[in-house]
Amino acid sequence: MHLIPQSWSHLHMLVSVFPSFGLVCVLGFYVAGLLADNIAAKRTCLVLFAGLGLLSIPIYLSGAGSMAALSGSSRFTKAAMDAHYIWGVAALVALVITGVGAVVALALSGSAGRASRDTLRVVLGLGVITLGVLIAADGWELVHRELQSTVVIPDVSTPPIWPHVHIILNHAPTVGWAFALAFYVVALVANDDLMKRGSLILFVICAILGVPTYVTGTASMWALTQPPIPEISKAVINAHRDMALWTLFGLAFTGLASWFELWRHRHLGRFSKLSLTLVMVFAVITLGIMTETGHRGGQVNHPEIRVATEILPTDPQAGISMAIESLMTSMVWFVPWQIVHFFGYCLIFGTAFAVLLRVLGFWKSVSFAAVHRLLLLGVLGVLMNVFSGMLMLLADSYRYLNDVTFGPKIALIAIGAVVALYFSASNRLWNLKPGEDAPAAAKWVAGVVVLAWAGVIVCGRLLNYL
């Protein structure tokens, strides 16, 4: 079982990723609960704050055990380990203080579930401070020496910044998914609509972040194998890429089901038990796939977590990803998906432009609820582009990843998709009647969405010229 630690280092890797990204998710829900004065959301977040505080115990013990076990290894310098230890202890102390503050707030809330606003705001402040200290305690560069590499072979390797970005991004969907699932279970048990909506939105955000995570993973492959790094195997990377491909499918299906239920709830005013159950099934299956993906990713550059009985791949040409790459190099396969990709852009930008017209007041004869129905076409376009774009990337990943406009394109896709969630989340915008002006915030959001997707189209078109 990959979830059963085989060493102190293995345990430390498993538990240490949860506080930083988990705290971001809990803080987001906590702020939403404070703004909506939702007791269930606030109490759930306080319990999770306390749980993250308790997590500091295994993090400290596994960290101390890892330092003792790896102190003689040439892969780790004593100065780097000491610096990480100092910052790590400071972060864990802050985490414990936040947890204690959450427990006090829970105790003061009593059976009614209401604590004073000042107490709740203190917990919020402690959480934000703790998040900052956790970021400063960054230990990634301690074990990932490739992040410090500046060697780039022209026309062969990709910039060394890609692995750094991938390491930051790949924990966001996985840890975020675990917390989204926790909130979702509580929402279903408590039958709380606000938490259901929040959990579904978090599932969609994690699914969106899966796109840049997958792309940066492909870019990292080139950075880590050209020039070759002795302890990193291309075959092991390919095994990780294959599971990442399945993860992308799982994220897409769960994210799509979650967004569709949000869209449906807006128009019918109620959630469907069948749809909510379907989201749960997709989410659990996807979490299992991500667990295997994360384990295989850890094997790439963490020999300290490998065990003697574990057989690692040795053939660098084996795997689903390599087979798809071979197929997509043929124009017979590439051109049809390219056509699908262009058609998807038409759906996305057409939908975004229609929403922009209504929000800015050029289409005031209809309600926003009517315009909201068009979002189905936009989401269909996004889905078409994610899968067709992924296949096109595999056809010639080196060329795309070294183009100066490709990075901005991927970033704008994530920005445009996440910001567009506002259209399904805003109550004020949903209640906009014919002839009424949209709130100022909606106009800014609509502008950002249209500019982001216009930027995606421009950056994509320039791929052949820069």
Q: How many CA atoms lie less than 13 Å away from 311 in the CB half-sphere?
A: 2
Q: pLDDT tens digits, residue range 202-251? A: 999 999 999 999 988 888 887 777 777 777 788 888 888 899 999 999 99
Q: pLDDT tens digits, residue range 136-182? A: 776 655 555 555 555 555 555 566 777 888 888 888 899 999 999 99
- Average pLDDT along the chain: 84
Residues 6 or more apart whose Cβ sits within 8 Å of residue 277: none
What pLDDT is recorded for position 73? 66
What pLDDT is recorded for position 360? 87
Average pLDDT (42-52) is 92
Helix, strand, coil abundance in the chain, percent, nearest 5? 80, 0, 20
Average pLDDT (126-143) is 77
Exposure of 48 by Cβ count < 10 A (0-12 exposed, 13-18 middle, 19+ buried)?
Answer: buried
| 185 has a pLDDT exceeding 90 | yes
Confidence band (pLDDT; 50, 70, 90) for 109? confident
Average pLDDT (98-120) is 80
Q: pLDDT tens digits, residue range 320-345? A: 888 888 888 887 888 888 899 889 98
What pLDDT is recorded for position 301? 76
Cβ atoms of 172 and 414 within 8 Å: the answer is no
Confidence band (pLDDT; 50, 70, 90) for 187? very high
> For the residues of 345-368, what is the DSSP string, one character each?
HHHHHHHHHHHHHHHTTTTTTS-H
- pLDDT top residue among 198 and 84: 198
Cα 203 to Cα 176, 256, 294, 388, 426: the distances in Å are 8, 9, 18, 22, 17
What pLDDT is recorded for position 308? 67
Q: pLDDT tens digits, residue range 362-397? A: 888 888 988 999 999 999 998 898 888 888 888 877
| 29 has a pLDDT exceeding 60 | yes
Q: pLDDT tens digits, residue range 250-293? A: 999 999 999 999 999 988 888 999 999 999 999 999 999 998 89
Extract the tokens encoding 284. 């659990």
What pLDDT is recorded for position 233? 81
What pLDDT is recorded for position 182? 93
pTM of the predicted structure, to 2 decimals: 0.88
What pLDDT is recorded for position 313? 77
What pLDDT is recorded for position 140? 58
Exposure of 7 by Cβ count < 10 A (0-12 exposed, 13-18 middle, 19+ buried)?
Answer: middle
- pLDDT top residue among 206 and 108: 206
Tell me the C-alpha distance between 302 and 310, whole Å.
13
> pLDDT over 70 for what percent of the chain?
90
- pLDDT top residue among 7 and 217: 217
Q: How many CA atoms lie less than 13 Å away from 217 in the CB half-sphere?
A: 30
What pLDDT is recorded for position 284? 96
What pLDDT is recorded for position 102? 92
